[in-house]
Structure 1
């Protein structure tokens, strides 16, 4: 019996953010399937693979990248003042003048 002919006789419910659900529905609609069909594909692939069908691990960033993330957060929070430019040309003109 193939997966498409197996009787579905139970429900699986989960909660998520409305906006995320709408985005996922739009994504999978573009692929010609419903969100429920996409979740079922994930579960089937999990059974075939014997686990989550993709790597799940902490990113292994180097020290320089971690420092760049910290700096970006500080800039975004306003802790570090930066100069902004109206265009890339303005930025490059200033860099060329140094």
Structure 2
């Protein structure tokens, strides 16, 4: 089948660069990755990953962390595990 359709999207330049770096590590071009995404949407008849709104607890956690509230800061992994009780 001939590839003649074009998809255009505006995206943040930094995000584009970071994602295309991942694509290169996977041996994919952006076109191949977009085609793969489209094929998965077609096959699954929806997005190939879960998309949902956060529950109230998660939303409050997002708001708190964005505002710098209720944060636990750890010096290193040992400190993290100690604070978690692991």
Matching of residues 47-66 of structure 1 within 5 Å: 47-62=42-57
Within 1, Cα distance between the matches of 2:33 and 2:62? 33
The gaps in structure 1 that reach 5 residues or longer are 1-5, 92-98
Which of 1 and 2 has higher RCO (CA within 8 Å, sep 6+)? 2
SS in 2 for 1:48: helix
Equivalenced residue count is: 76
TM-score by length of 1: 0.61
Q: Give RMSD over aligned pairs.
A: 2.9
TM-score by length of 2: 0.68
Structure showing greater radius of gyration is 1
The gaps in structure 2 that reach 5 residues or longer are 80-86
